[in-house]
Amino acid sequence: MKELTLDELAGKLDTACFGDWFYNIDTGDFEFLAEYCDKDYDDSDTERFDNDSYIPLPRTYDLNDYEIMKDFSMSVDDPVKRNILLTAIGGKGAFRWFRHSIEELGIEEEWYAFKHAAYREIAREWCIRHGLKYSVTK
């Protein structure tokens, strides 16, 4: 089995909103199931993953992006920017308002680096939970 990299796993987690990733422990390959996008999808597509060879990666609702946005907002040193971000996530349309706010504040790069680091940590915990070897670097 090949050693996984946390960056590779974090990249897969970043696309979890489009479907589900499965890791094949026998081959070391990832497979993607996009049930919402594939017009030919049927329930038999998921059956192939119902065995001990496949481990599902965390799904989008497991990632808790809202909590990651909140943690990022709290980490911003500038109190004005921090307040803008916390206000943005405080009500309806939090994800849209947050995205708009980071663009307006010019801190998109900082946000995406923070989010990637959070996903790397989730990936590390996933590897440990499943007894998989991983490396920190690419």
pLDDT digits (tens, 9 = 90+) for 110-126: 999 999 999 999 999 99
Count: domains in the chain = 1
Q: CA-to-CA distance for 89 and 79, rounded, in angstroms?
A: 15
Would residue 37 count as lying in a domain?
A: yes
- At residue 114, the pLDDT reads 98
Q: Which residues 6+ apart lie within 8 Å of 119 measured at CB?
A: 9, 10, 13, 14, 63
pLDDT in tens, 36-88: 555 554 555 567 777 888 999 998 888 999 999 999 999 999 999 999 999 99
First to last CA, the chain: 16
137 contacts 5 by C-beta, under 8 angstroms: yes
Would residue 128 count as lying in a domain?
A: no
Q: Which two tokens stand for residue 46?
A: 């998921």
Question: Whole-model pTM?
Answer: 0.87
Would residue 42 count as lying in a domain?
A: yes
Residue-number span of the structural domain to which 8 is assigned: 4-61
Would residue 83 count as lying in a domain?
A: no
Q: How many CB atoms lie within 10 A of CB 59?
A: 13
